[in-house]
Amino acid sequence: MYHAIVFFDPTFVINVIAGWLLTVAGAGLLLLAAIWSVFAGEWLHGEKKPTAWRGLCAIGTGVFLLGLVWQIVGYYRVGAVTWQ
């Protein structure tokens, strides 16, 4: 099986794959918040959502967006994307 050499380049790993891992971590946190919301269905009946749940959603969204930005900047740094 052929593996691209770029995956063994430390510059690519730090600039792109680290951003991808952050994106996946943020998506995982948001999935965890969704599962929590499903199991705690009483929130749908007008009760206030817990602060911890809101914080989990905020952190998950922030980490997800940070990962996307990290990847975009990383692709620019390794030369895969240009703005011309």
The C-alpha atoms of residue 63 and residue 80 are separated, in whole angstroms, by 23
The pLDDT score that the predictor gives to residue 3 is 62
Cβ atoms of 78 and 15 within 8 Å: the answer is yes
The pLDDT score that the predictor gives to residue 80 is 80
What is the DSSP code string of 10-68? HHHIIIIIHHHHHHHHHHHHHHHHHHHHHH-GGGGGTPPPPHHHHHHHHHHHHHHHHHH
Per-residue pLDDT, averaged over 51-62, amounts to: 95
The pLDDT score that the predictor gives to residue 1 is 55
Q: How confident is the model at residue 6 (pLDDT cuts 50, 70, 90)?
A: low
The pLDDT score that the predictor gives to residue 19 is 94
